[in-house]
Structure 1
Amino acid sequence: MITRVLRNAAWLGLGEVGVKSGLLLAAILVAHASGPSGMGTFTVAYSAALIAVLIGALGQQEVLIREVARSPGAAHGLLGASRLVQIRSARWLLPIAAVGALLVPEGSLRFTLLAFLPYAMLRTATVTYGAAFKGFDRMDVETRARGLETAVAVTAIGVIAILRWPVWTTGAAFSIGAGLGLIWIRRRKGELGSGMSTLGPSSLLSEGLPFMALAVVSQLIANADRFLLELLGVARAEIGYWGTAGIIVWAMAALPQLVSVALYPSFSRQAEAGGSPRQAGLLAGLGGAVCGLVCAGGLWILADPLVRLAFGADFAPAVPLLQRLSLALPGAFAMTVMGSVYAAWRRQRRVLWILGGALLGSLALNMMWIPSMGVLAPATVAPLVYTLTAVAMALGIVGAGTGTGKAE
């Protein structure tokens, strides 16, 4: 198990470093080409695209990883059934998203949201294909596809920055990259064999919806403040400063994500064998919190030179926001790795209640404080919410039973 986890972590680490570095480079290019206001537009649109990916995926990545790990011979059929579920849902989700984007009154943001729609659709397919391979502990396949996607997108954004094209063209750049990544990974589908699915589309959908809800709620905890800042009339440049801080901090959050995904197939097998989630969950949470604390300390110390060097002196107001937001990392790291334990032992509905409460608390505090504090409000709320949520998840694991049980 240790060798397998280390191999998985190595591939995922390579992939996440590449993808997050690419996103950071793209943000730097946008910042230098479009300034704080353009950065604010890019931040809101990209955050919306990430949420669209999670909704469109319908939680099928997590279901595929778990079910393929348990029934490798059914991988081809499971992937086909999952994609069928997603395609059927996209027929009404995509028009709703397009109408929502068209209703945005400000032109630059409206066009940028529309340009990111193809990216959301294509990336959804890519990560779903990648999930089937992850069930075989083949973390390298999605890593390569996402690497191609990111390289193409960043190269295109570099051209956009040189030519000073409008910020909405960044959505087209990401869409082109995602399309090429999907083409590459689809050509590997034959490696999954030809076995039939052990679950039908309706079963996969019902299994996946709690995962989707978890993913969307988690993403909203991290990004809903950007939408609230926009809705409550905070200047787009201020949102750009906040987005700059968020891109740096949440790039660090890729570390527990890669560890979590690397451990997930092994945790699923432990759960199938009737093991207890307590030891695995608490050790994972403690390790995540310690790593997050180290990263937070590093960001606090290096915040000023990092922002000035990467984004320029115009983005100096992002420094105190970055320092405050970095304090959310211990809780965020712990939450991420404990989440894989909840998923492996089919306790996703339990953690959904915890995260739902965290989201409501975050929204309430931000809505109260943003009118008077501006972007300092989410920078203050985030560390509080992530810390309390991590504690609640740890307490939930302490009270968990043993064995696989049925999906809650």
Structure 2
Amino acid sequence: MAVALSRRTVAKNALSQLGTFALSGGSKAIAAIMVARTLGPKGMGTFSLSWTLAGTLAFVAVLGLDNRLIRELARTRDPRELERSLPLACLLGLIFGGLLTGIPALTGVHSDAAQALAAAGGFVAVSAPILIFRATFHAREKMEYETVTCVVEGAVALIAVAVALGAGFGVGGAMLGLTAGRVANLILCLVLYRRLWGPVRIEIAARRWLGLIHEGWPLAVSYSLTATFLRFDILVLAIFHPSAEVGMYGAASVILLTAPLVAVSFSSSLYPILAQAEGLDDEHLQSVFQKTSRILIVAALPLATGLTVLATPIAEMLFGSDFGHTGRYLALLAWILPFRFVNHLFGVVLAATHRARSRRLAAVALALIANLALNLMLIPTWGAYGAVAATIATELVIAGLLLAGIRPLRPILARPLVEGALVALAMTGVVLVTPGGIFPQLATGGASFAGGLWVLFLWLPSRGLAAFSATEQESAAAA
């Protein structure tokens, strides 16, 4: 690998990415909670559907141009790459956003769902240039810039959503509030880009657009398929079952999409550096992969255990007493977290390694086929429980396919599984003996979880290093 991995750089990038995902995903989760508490399970069902389509199309619309840009700028540092990509991304965002915005006009339907989808179209259109600007921040490893933009977006969005719901504008107003936050993000991206790269210049070279799409399409298809299988269950559930059931399942999905933020941010922070690897047999890549997979596995097991034990109290605390069924779905879905943690790492490694992108695409495509088939078979009859079963089965399929795709890389499983199980048992014991309800249980569970990770990754390694240094000093003195 051309550039050595700096622990300080990785730590900074990981913290920046954690802040970004926490603020971005967290603000959307809080908005969902506000909708659920204001409009109940039925309103939450409509919001889940519209947000599912908006979130999926926002990433699909740029056709992989953002990830291609990260890879190219990390290697060449040529700002002309942005000049070529930005106009195409904006055009694609307008096309995909227009598809959603035009639904009420094309169908003549003006229900709450149609209005929410129309508002979601604006979110998609604004997201396209934001993803391109963020790619330039990633390439220069200025991920803290993205964090700043998410702070502003989250604050503006939550204020706008609260005002819209308070004024009685319903789900459509909530989606417009999220779009307002997105517009604030775009304005700040323009300011920060100018500070990092200079004035924004545009090169409209339509003859090159097909080449850009050709280079980005493997990543586009891969991420599009991933986004589709993560959200397809909501779409199928909305077709065959009432909005209230969609809302209760959607509430569980909000938690499951928010919980992996740490893993996603940590893995994503490695992308610019891993993109410089020559291939999957790169020694430095192998070292980083082994260490990262251990951390993710150890962290995922206690988190899944905690969500299972406290599923119903957490659901009712967040969304209200009408969402009791959400706890049942959450207790089962919690066990996809260990697979989702490592699957994201596997995907980042394959996406960052240029010659391995086709493997990732094939793995995700096969997983999507399995997911679509399972959802269509199980959801019409079993409803939300069918969606749960399809989601768990899909994560298992993805894990197996990606594990085969990252050869010759192999995660070390035995040690982190034992370590994670020990932390989970200790944390569960503390939670079960804690009186006073959900808030004290969350506090003591979180403290024991953090304490277990501190012992494994900070205290024990430092003790081992101190013992090694003392042995060396004794050997030197004896000599």
Q: Report if TM-score (shorter chain) is over 0.5.
A: yes
Structure 1 residues not aligned, in runs of 5+:
401-408
2:234 maps to which of 222, 226, 229? 226
Alpha-carbon offset, residue 5 of structure 1 = 0.5
Sequence identity (%): 24
Residue 403 of structure 1 aligns with which residue? none
CA–CA separation in structure 2 for the residues paired with 1:363 and 1:129: 33
Alpha-carbon offset, residue 283 of structure 1 = 5.1
Q: Does 1:369 align with 2:378?
A: yes
TM-score, structure 1 normalization: 0.90
Measured against aligned partners, the alpha-carbon deviations of 1:174-204 in whole angstroms (never above 9, x if no partner) come to 111111110111122222147999x954433
Measured against aligned partners, the alpha-carbon deviations of 1:200-247 in whole angstroms (never above 9, x if no partner) come to 544332221111111111111110011111122x01000000100000
2:326 maps to which of 290, 302, 318? 318
Measured against aligned partners, the alpha-carbon deviations of 1:247-275 in whole angstroms (never above 9, x if no partner) come to 00110122222112210111112338982
Residue 90 of structure 2 aligns with which residue? 87
Please tell me the residue identity of whatever aligns with 2:333.
L
Matches for 1:170-249 after TM superposition, within 5 Å: 170-190=174-194, 191-193=196-198, 201-232=209-240, 234-249=241-256
Kept in 2, the 8 Å contact 1:307–1:319? The answer is: yes
Kept in 1, the 8 Å contact 2:101–2:121? The answer is: yes
Higher RCO (CA 8 Å, separation ≥ 6 residues): 1
CA–CA separation in structure 2 for the residues paired with 1:20 and 1:99: 27
Please tell me the residue identity of whatever aligns with 1:82.
S
Matches for 1:377-392 after TM superposition, within 5 Å: 377-392=386-401
Structure 2 residues not aligned, in runs of 5+:
1-5, 410-479
Q: Secondary structure at the match of 1:269?
A: coil
Kept in 2, the 8 Å contact 1:77–1:194? The answer is: no
Superposed CA RMSD in Å reads 2.4
Alpha-carbon offset, residue 106 of structure 1 = 7.1
Q: Which moved more, 1:154-163 or 1:359-368?
A: 154-163
Q: Does 1:46 align with 2:51?
A: yes
CA–CA separation in structure 1 for the residues paired with 2:99 and 2:171: 23
Please tell me the residue identity of whatever aligns with 2:326.
A
Residue 339 of structure 1 aligns with which residue? 347
Residue 137 of structure 2 aligns with which residue? 133
Alpha-carbon offset, residue 293 of structure 1 = 2.3
Matches for 1:3-402 after TM superposition, within 5 Å: 3-72=8-77, 74=78, 76-90=79-93, 92-100=95-103, 102-103=106-107, 107-190=111-194, 191-193=196-198, 201-232=209-240, 234-271=241-278, 275=282, 280-281=288-289, 284-346=292-354, 347-399=356-408
CA distance 1:194–1:32, change in 2 (3 Å)? closer
CA distance 1:230–1:273, change in 2 (3 Å)? closer
Alpha-carbon offset, residue 385 of structure 1 = 1.2
CA–CA separation in structure 1 for the residues paired with 2:314 and 2:342: 25
CA distance 1:256–1:271, change in 2 (3 Å)? farther
How many residue pairs end up in the alignment? 396
Measured against aligned partners, the alpha-carbon deviations of 1:61-104 in whole angstroms (never above 9, x if no partner) come to 211211111112x1x21112111221343454344344456449
Please tell me the residue identity of whatever aligns with 1:242.
Y
CA–CA separation in structure 2 for the residues paired with 1:195 and 1:148: 21
CA–CA separation in structure 2 for the residues paired with 1:123 and 1:140: 19
Q: Which is greater in Rg?
A: 2
Q: Secondary structure at the match of 1:137?
A: coil
Kept in 1, the 8 Å contact 2:158–2:177? The answer is: yes
CA–CA separation in structure 2 for the residues paired with 1:12 and 1:104: 42
Kept in 1, the 8 Å contact 2:64–2:218? The answer is: yes
CA–CA separation in structure 1 for the residues paired with 2:390 and 2:384: 10
CA distance 1:106–1:348, change in 2 (3 Å)? farther
